[in-house]
Structures are given as C-alpha cells and as structure tokens.
Structure 1
C-alpha cells in the first residue's frame, strides 16, 4: 500500500503534560472513549505514559471506520497487539488469537462444527442447565441474586457441557477457579509498561503458572480420552467418555475427529488451544448478555411484562414445556431485548488491531505500526445511529430499524473475516436460557444503584449487579 500524504491527521486527546491520558485510560477507559468521541470526533489519538515510555494509540468510533478495520481493510489490521500476545501466552494460539495461514486452517477445520443445524442440537442441553439453575435459585437467600456471578457460572456450565459432555461436571470446578485468574493475570501484564519475563519466579508468575498447568492438564486428560477411542461419537445411548446420554456428541469429540484432505487434523496441542479459547470466549459474551438483559428487564417492568407474555404464549408459562431451537423464531421480542442489552453492555467494549501499512480510515491517516482500537461501547452509543443512546429500547431492533442503520453500528460479535464463529451458539444459549428463567421468575431491582463498569479483555462490572426474584405460580418444576 502506498504511503498516504493527503489524509487528515487524527486529533490528539488532551491529557496531562507529564502522563498524557494514562490516568483516564487506566481509571475509566469507557468514559475516556466516550468523551474523546464527543469532543474530538470519530478518529482520535491517545498519548499515555511518561516521557520515554509514552505510547500513542488510535481509536475509531464510527460504524464506517469499524467496517473498514474489521472487514474491508481487515488484511491490513492484525492481531499483533499486546493484549493478544498475552492471551496467546496464557491460553494458546486458537481461533481468537491465531493469524494468517494458521487461522485459515483452523477456521476451515472448525467451521463445520458450528453450522446452524449442528448448534441447534445443543438446545436441550441449554434448557436442562437453565432448568437446573432455576431450581437452584429457590434457595437464594431473601430471593436476592448477584447477576454477574450467577450468569458467569451458568454460561461456564453451558459451554463446559457442550465442550466436554458428561465430563463437564468434573471440569467445572477447575475451570471456574483457574480461568478468571488467568484472564486477570493476562490483562495486568498487557497494561503494565514494564513486563518481567514469565519465566522469572515472581509470586504472580508462579501463581499463573500453576493455574495454567492445572487447566492444561484438565483439557489434555479429556482430549486424550477422546483420542484414545472413548467418546467416539457412537449413538448407542451410552455416556462413556463424555458423549451425552441422548447421543449428542460433545464438541471435544467433534474437534478430535475434524479433518479434511487439505488441512489434515488438529494435533493434541492444537486441540487444547481450541478448547481453551472456546472456554474463554464462549462464555463471556453469553454471561454478559444474560446478566444485563435481566438487569434491564428488572428495571423496566413494561418490557419485562411484554417479554414474559411472549415466553408464556410460546412455552405455556410457569410449569410449561422446555424451549427448543425452533422456538427462537417465535421469540422475536426476547431476541430484541438481548440485542439491546448487548448494545448497551457489549462483552468486548474495545477491540484492538495493529496496522501493517499506512491506511486511511474515515478520511484520517493511520500510520504503519500503529495500534488501533474500535469500540462497540462507543459506536453502539453513537448519536448518529442511536437517538437517545443511553435509553433502553428493544424496538431499536425491529427488522425495519436494523435495515435503516449501517451494518457496523452494532457489532458485539466483531465482523468481517474474523467475526465470532460462535454467534449462533451464543444467541441460542441466551434466548433459550432467558426463556426458561422468565418462565420461572419475576425479576425486580434490589436497589437503585448504578453499576460501575470497567474494561479489560471483556466488560467488567466493578460492583454487584443485584436483583430480586419472585417464583411465579404455579410452582416451577425443573
């Protein structure tokens, strides 16, 4: 690509003389990005850090700019940022972190496992896990829940069961204990201006090493059981090796068997890396969408009633039947609620890339080697696409309203050639999981406190997200 000379320069966001925007970006990055767009426009430069260690990054906030970076100019914007480097070191080079020929080979091997028909086959597992959660909530002290923790555990249980089948139950304790700590360690290293080698025996490195070793050993044991012939996908109704008792094959079994003439198959290390990436990325989007959809419904009784009535009409109300994949098309308002929750609370509020060559984005020059961030958090609040953007309004996602907006005004699953392979699975889990919970309970706010939020690899609630639940009548039966 030729060097650009006529493009406009991105304005520099004002900060302090000594540290630039470092304090603002570390303490409240979401507010920093919103302020930057409001005061400086759709493409800006942040400078952060003391002299000698100062870092300059570009942020792009328009839907058109996001589309250029993620789709039309995707080849020029790579996953070479420090966040992806740290993730590769922690969980391996799976679909989320790999690039170039490695990524293309992985995608070709794994894509057939995520067809709509294949994913729809997991609907009964989602419904079963949601019913078990609804039953467990009957023991909630005072009928009060902390939604983020509850939905994170629920999403992990779902993805664990889909990945590991009947081995998911014994895997859950290890995953829940080690994965969040490994994520936190990766984020801290990515944000640190000075990173000691991981091989140095510091307390943080040693703890992370133990968590990683335990998680790797769990995955390797389950994978080896499939490669050794157990869990070979037989449909005789047995539960040997992690296949579901009704014959549904778990995802690890399918990954072990994935191969084609061009790409061969995945070796043991590659299998582990894919499993870990699915564990990491496969529950965060779902957990965030579920937690904040319930949070928003609890605070907006008119929308709660409308979505509850829709669920009752389709599934028969409290004590009614379990949802299936076919019911998703019959729950359009519930789907609209989820999309609006993902607009306001995207699980990945900021997404990073690094420019390979000079580029022009939204008429602004981006130099080769620059770190560039697009932000669903900001774009999905951009007043050019979203009137009264902080208002919760599921009607924004009627088919007519969606058709009238730019494609990348809403992109919680990314976009372009690196769009999330698990989009349909996440929506299946979210729609059906919510349907079961709304069959069983009414949701009301436990307080009127705003939820403080932060951003690491994913959106983080920095305080509890509480609600009160009331069992619906007749008594719910799992």
Structure 2
C-alpha cells in the first residue's frame, strides 16, 4: 500500500529572541532575503514581532514556486496580505491593489488603453523627450550626471506627456517628497504586529495623511484639467489618429457591462499610473546606464548596434518599428532589470492550505515571492552577480524556467504597462547612447534599500562625453 507524501514545514529563519526577523527586514530586507535562501532553501518562514505577537511570513524563492503563486495557482494567493492592506489605506483601491469584481471591472475598462498599437503610437513623444534630455545634458560643465534623479525626472516627464498630456514637472517635487515617506510608513505598518487604527491621530498616521492628501490633490488637478480641456469631444481611434492622452481616455472609459469609472476610481487609477508608470522605467534606465558605464565592452556593442540602425550621432531618432532590431540593447536592459528589479518583493496571502516545492503553506499565511532573490538564484543564473547581457539570447531564455525572470510580476496580475515601460526604456537608451559615452564617476558599489520599490541609498553618478 502506497504511503501518502507528507509535506515538510518551512524552516524558520533565525532572528533575535525579542523581535524575530523584524529588525533585519526593516534594516536590510534585500540582504535578509538573499541570506535566507542561501542558508535555508527555497521556501522559508520569517517570524516578526515580540513573543506572543509574532506573525509568520513565508518566502518562496524558486522559479517554479513563483509561477505557482503568481500564475498557475493565482486564485489561491490573493492580495490580502498586511502590506496590501496598508497600500489600500494609503493609495486607494486602484488597479494595483483591487481584487475580484472590482479588479476585473477596472482591468476591462483600462485594458484598451494599453494595446500594443496604442502604446506604439507614443514612440515619437518618447524620443522627443529623450532628445530634449540629451540636449539639456550638453550644458553640464563637468560632464557629471546623477542617474537616479535624472531618470526619475525623465520617466515622469514621459508619463506626464504620454499618460496625462501635460507637463508634470511640478509633480516631481510632490512625489519625491511624499512617496519615500509613505513607502517607509507602509513597510513599518505592514510588519507591525499591532497597528493603531488608521483613523487614530498618531504622529505617523498624521504624516501619512498629509502626504496622501498632497498626492490626491495632484491627481485631482490632473483629472480636472482633462475634463476641462481635451476631456470633451469625440474619442479618437488611438495616438496615430489624434492627440488624446490616457488620462482623457480614462475620464471617458465606459462600456455597457461595467459603466464608467467614478471620481474616486479615476483618482486611484491616475495615482497608480503616475507612480508605477515612472518607477519601473526610471529604475531600469538608471541602472542600465550605470552598468554600461562600468562595462565598456558591452557599451561599445550597444553603440555599434544603435549606430548601424540609426546612423550614429546626429542620425535619425528611433521608432517603435526599431524595437525588434535593437536586440543587444534589449538584452542589456533585461539584464539590468534582472539585477535591479524595481519591485524586489511581491506579496500575497494563501487562501487555503497548500504546498509549494514540497513545503506546507497554511491557510491565511502571508506569502512573498522575490524577483530580487529568484533573479540571482544560482540554479538559473551562473555567477549571478555578474553583468552579462548574453543571458538573454533567445536560446538562453528558452533554457530557463519561465519565472526565473519576472520584473513585471506575472500571471493575471502582471503589470499592464510593461510594453509601455519597455518602449520608453529601449528608445530612451538608444537616444542617449547615440549621443553620449558613459564612464563611472565612482568606484564604490551603490548601496541599495527597499520598501515597496528598490531604492538607491546614495548617488548613482557617471560622467558623460558627447560623441
């Protein structure tokens, strides 16, 4: 008679007697996750909080495990964990945080705005912004640029122009002032074993309320400008046939089944697109240039590819049709996103007892998968910390598990804007590398941190030389 297979319990990551892993997760979550996989394996259990109030959190680091959580068994892992609860309180119930019928309704209304044809129609605007940035850099007296800040401004300008049809330069100061504080607040509140109600006027809650109010006011202003300007008239057939922007189209989004977005939903969608719409692109651009500055041979290969296609300095601007021809540049970008994923951790909650990689996950458990760890997993990535764009040849990609690389998430909740992000990143890099050579300005490694998104704790500087 066959014996039933019994799943094993996840090993508990060692922490301190008083707070478990909470201090490590707050101090340096990236190193904590990497160390846990190396010491304990592909499914581990963190315990955070003082005795009697500790909460377990399961981390899944294998590619197959990530695929189960995000895709093949996504119905068993919901966005109900502590961090998404805090995010809903902080940035609303938009496409990133909503679930069930609310999510499906929002996705159906928003999906037509992100078709490949519509997104490709914004290529000219992307390259115009990239050319403007390259021109602005010519005035740098010492040729030094700080990539993170520059790429965040550049990506936000593209979001403003493409998604909102307006200059959002003023939004940069609001986002830079409010979002880091809200991220830290969300991380601490998500890990806290006891949370004061959001309505209590604690100092942390009051600061979060002020930052939230600034972001909401920013979004309300964008929506009002779309209602009062291009928000009237006949809807166009896409960017090629008119000048409509996505904010205007959101205002008008409507179908017979789902109706339209109400005022709160509009604000929440605009806020998600404003934040997520520039964060992934900015991170990819900044670290792709950082890596190329440190690897002159790979930079030379990119320049040769760009020059062959576009004609070198002073040549033509890239178009959406060039995306398929910029193969090595795309490989560089994917490798940068492997090493520096803008969302290093993705959280869910198990809705039933289940098993991942032979390890028991109880119903109600907080579960996370980590692009940061899986994309450095030695089973899929030999010498994982080495920058090597050749990892992304078609042959190499075909030889790896699908979820060995997932910087845009995956499954039914994959990032709806991933094609737009890739378009902006590839075309933006092509223009900048067509115009400049990049060299490192600092020898030290960039210190990194993470709350909701990956952050550089110091400047990411390089020197540029006009070609």
TM-score range, shorter chain: over 0.9
Equivalenced residue count is 463
Taking structure 2 as the reference length, what is the TM-score of the superposition?
0.94
- CA 1:49–1:218 in 2, change beyond 3 Å: closer, same or farther? closer
Shift of 1:196: 3.1
Match of 1:414 in 2: 409
SS at match of 1:142: coil
- CA 1:226–1:149 in 2, change beyond 3 Å: closer, same or farther? closer
Shift of 1:128: 1.4
Matches within 5 A, 1:159-238: 159-169=159-169, 171-227=171-227, 230-232=230-232
**1:259 correspondence with 2:254:** yes
Shift of 1:92: 0.9
Greater shift after overlay, 83-92 or 65-74? 83-92
Task: Work out whether residues 22 and 191 of structure 2, in 8 Å CA contact, stay in contact via their aligned partners in 1.
Answer: no
C-alpha deviations, 1:21-62, integer Å up to 9, x for none?
233222222112112111211111112222122221111110
Counterpart-to-counterpart distance in 2, 1:34 and 1:445: 27
- CA 1:187–1:160 in 2, change beyond 3 Å: closer, same or farther? farther
**1:335 correspondence with 2:342:** no
Match of 2:365 in 1: 370
Shift of 1:297: 0.2
Counterpart-to-counterpart distance in 2, 1:179 and 1:459: 12
Shift of 1:314: 1.2
Greater shift after overlay, 343-352 or 6-15? 6-15
Shift of 1:173: 4.5
- CA 1:183–1:224 in 2, change beyond 3 Å: closer, same or farther? same
Task: Work out whether residues 156 and 168 of structure 2, in 8 Å CA contact, stay in contact via their aligned partners in 1.
Answer: no
Match of 1:299 in 2: 294
- CA 1:166–1:19 in 2, change beyond 3 Å: closer, same or farther? closer
Counterpart-to-counterpart distance in 2, 1:202 and 1:26: 20
Counterpart-to-counterpart distance in 2, 1:134 and 1:58: 45
SS at match of 2:360: strand
- CA 1:194–1:137 in 2, change beyond 3 Å: closer, same or farther? farther
Shift of 1:415: 0.5
C-alpha deviations, 1:368-426, integer Å up to 9, x for none?
01011111111111111111111111011011111111100000001111011001000
Match of 2:155 in 1: 155
- CA 1:58–1:141 in 2, change beyond 3 Å: closer, same or farther? farther
Match of 1:70 in 2: 70
C-alpha deviations, 1:114-168, integer Å up to 9, x for none?
1100001111111111112112222335211211111111111111222220353
Match of 1:102 in 2: 102
Match of 1:44 in 2: 44
Choose which of 274, 291, 309 in structure 2 pairs with 1:279: 274
- CA 1:233–1:317 in 2, change beyond 3 Å: closer, same or farther? farther
Task: Work out whether residues 48 and 191 of structure 2, in 8 Å CA contact, stay in contact via their aligned partners in 1.
Answer: no
C-alpha deviations, 1:409-463, integer Å up to 9, x for none?
0000011110110010000010011111111111101111011111110111112
Taking structure 1 as the reference length, what is the TM-score of the superposition?
0.92
Task: Work out whether residues 57 and 371 of structure 1, in 8 Å CA contact, stay in contact via their aligned partners in 2.
Answer: yes
Shift of 1:104: 0.7
Task: Work out whether residues 46 and 58 of structure 2, in 8 Å CA contact, stay in contact via their aligned partners in 1.
Answer: yes
